[in-house]
Chains A and B, each alone.
Chain A
Amino acid sequence: GAVVSQHPSRVICKSGTSVKIECRSLDFQATTMFWYRQFPKQSLMLMATSNEGSKATYEQGVEKDKFLINHASLTLSTLTVTSAHPEDSSFYICSATDSYGYTFGSGTRLTVV
């Protein structure tokens, strides 16, 4: 089946620094990738949709200058949390889709100290 690899699985960073999270579709080409954020005991909240070679579409209330998304190829999308602060600490999950459906990465636990 389709596999999406997400790295890193856990990251701790200092407040004010930037963190990059990678999402790769390993055995298929993803026409579209999605990024979600999940706070403890809450559901997944869609942050943005990205298509290869074009600018990401952000959901209302998501700061596009803070959460930079790059979808440079059909198998790789990256999310960079810029100038991270403790309130950005969360579980970030990517999803990749092709004509067969949606596959999710295993998530990245970001802790900003």
Chain B
Amino acid sequence: DAKTTQPPSMDCAEGRAANLPCNHSTISGNEYVYWYRQIHSQGPQYIIHGLKNNETNEMASLIITEDRKSSTLILPHATLRDTAVYYCIVRPDRYGNKLVFGAGTILRVKS
């Protein structure tokens, strides 16, 4: 699976949009971009995933560049409860295969 690079930490003001970048320059054509987050001392939570088109759900939006070498997760109106570690993972969309986590980005939402 392709490797990803994320900034170690970011801060965001409450109520503002949080934009979390992810670099995946070695992504191959059949690999999806997944985002999960982990709030302190809990299991990871699925946020969103996409292949090449931008995606939006009730939690977030995912913007993937045209060359698919990078993506941005957008939390449109961050709240204090969004403080968590956010993981960007690239992998084929074949469920049953292992999900490998990188270091992720610590997002701190501040009031």
Scoring A residues 89 to 110 as 1 if CB is less than 8 Å from chain B, else 0, what string do you get? 0010101011111111111010
* Residues on A with beta carbons closer than 8 Å to the beta carbon of B43: 4, 6, 93, 95, 104-107
Are the C-beta atoms of B98 and A34 separated by less than 8 Å? yes
* Residues on B with beta carbons closer than 8 Å to the beta carbon of A49: 98
B21 contacts the other chain (Cβ, under 8 Å)?
no
We find that the number of chain A residues with CB closer than 8 angstroms to chain B is 27
In angstroms, how far is the closest chain B Cβ from the Cβ of A32? 4
* Residues on A with beta carbons closer than 8 Å to the beta carbon of B95: 31-32, 97-102
- Pairs A–B under 8 Å by Cβ, sample size 27: A6-B43, A31-B96, A32-B96, A34-B98, A36-B101, A43-B85, A43-B87, A43-B101, A43-B102, A44-B38, A44-B101, A45-B101, A46-B98, A46-B99, A46-B101, A51-B96, A91-B41, A95-B99, A100-B95, A101-B46, A102-B99, A104-B43, A104-B44, A105-B43, A106-B43, A107-B42, A107-B43
User: Footprint of B on A, CB under 8 Å?
Assistant: 4, 6, 31-32, 34, 36, 43-46, 49, 51, 91, 93, 95, 97-107, 109
Q: Which of A95, A105, A107 contacts B41 (CB 8 A)?
A: A107
- The CA-CA distance from A36 to B96 in the complex, in Å, is 15
- The CA-CA distance from A105 to B38 in the complex, in Å, is 11
In angstroms, how far is the closest chain B Cβ from the Cβ of A8? 14
B54-107 contacts to A (CB < 8 Å):
85, 87, 95-96, 98-104
B26 contacts the other chain (Cβ, under 8 Å)?
no
Interface size class of B (residues with CB under 8 A): 10 to 19
B33-56 contacts to A (CB < 8 Å):
38, 41-46
- The CA-CA distance from A104 to B45 in the complex, in Å, is 7
In angstroms, how far is the closest chain B Cβ from the Cβ of A74? 13
- The CA-CA distance from A99 to B94 in the complex, in Å, is 8
Closest B residue to A6 by beta carbon equals B43
In angstroms, how far is the closest chain B Cβ from the Cβ of A6? 7
* Residues on A with beta carbons closer than 8 Å to the beta carbon of B99: 34, 46, 95, 102
